[in-house]
Structure 1
Amino acid sequence: MVSETQINQADPNPQVEKDTLHSGEVSARLLMDIFVNHFKLLTGEALLASKLASVWYDKQKSQEDLVNGLEYAKAQEWIVALDEAFRLTEAGFQAADVADE
């Protein structure tokens, strides 16, 4: 499981107002979009938690939404948590495609 310390390796900028999504599903779909469209990952490939968090915070999203999105994505089996990374599943890859339509 990825620890909060690993997520905090890419600290949010406190000077920037955050866009809060308030939905685990919306956050998870944005995360899948980052996996597939930003990092160009394919099913079975892994992404370091710190790299994911860095892009998330660059999009000015909150840490709460990041955690909620990760939990939703894991529950939907869109990603699998590794030691310091997440592996994208076929379902997660498909969820990113749905988010782009």
Structure 2
Amino acid sequence: MFRTATFVLLALSAILSPARAADPVRGQELFMQHCVSCHAPGQPVPGAPGFILQQRMLQPDSVLLEKIRYGVNAMPGYQGILDNSMILDLIAYMRTLQ
């Protein structure tokens, strides 16, 4: 019974805890580690988009998160490498490049 109650309390605290704001500084670190080789501002690899004034950056975070998680076209997915909070930090940084 105690284990069940503990599990329920932990699950509720995870669900009810406020979401943390995305951190563009952490996102920049992740960008430099995982993305800059193809998406360098001003000199992206052919076929790999930059992010300045790009129509795709008008998409909601949820759409961008899915594209980063699962990949799109030649870009590999980062599921298992970046968790959702890391991807949201990355998106927050990419939005600063506008």
- TM value normalised by structure 1: 0.34
Higher fraction of helix: 2
Higher fraction of strand: 1
- Name which one, 1 or 2, has greater alpha-carbon Rg: 2
- TM value normalised by structure 2: 0.35
